[in-house]
Amino acid sequence: MVCMGNICRSPTAEAVLRRKLEEAELQGWVTVDSAGTHAYHVGNPPDERAQAHAARRGYDLAPLRARQVAEADFMQHDLLLAMDWDNLALLEAECPDDPAVLRKLRRLAEFIPADASHAGVEVVPDPYYGGAQGFEHVLDVVEQACDGLVLHLRARLSQAQGLTPQ
């Protein structure tokens, strides 16, 4: 999960996906992490507002710490999911010149199911300079995107590991 500073959207997405994977009993099959395209907040915990809104829905962001995307991320991860077009472009600019690696770069919002209330939303908007509603909207979009992502991951795991989808 990748946003600009790794203190609002991407740690929120990391925590939401972890929970959704646990609920789907896939936590042992998928590794989840988050990072930022910029080093503005490296080592800092997530934004207090992001933590508070996430906690109201049962997500714990407190243990997470901001870090910047590293070169190794492009090789270690099967998907690097940007929160918006700008961060996707920054990932593309840093990506090794390898078509297989470039295919790993996508937007999280691509996974919002077609029948979800936020279907058609293209990005997870940055709530940093806004009010409480922005953080709630991020959670709404991220939860729906992660629901779709879990379905996608289950299908990929089923193909790769011969698992039977539940």
* Catalytic sites, residue numbers: 3, 9, 126
Closest by CA to 85, choosing from 101, 65, 53, 107, is: 107
Closest by CA to 124, choosing from 42, 38, 12, 45, is: 12
Residue 109 vs residues 16, 79, 106: alpha-carbon distances, Å: 14, 13, 9
Q: Is 97 helix (H, G, I), strand (E, B) or coil?
A: coil
Q: Tokens 């790993």 — which residue?
A: 104
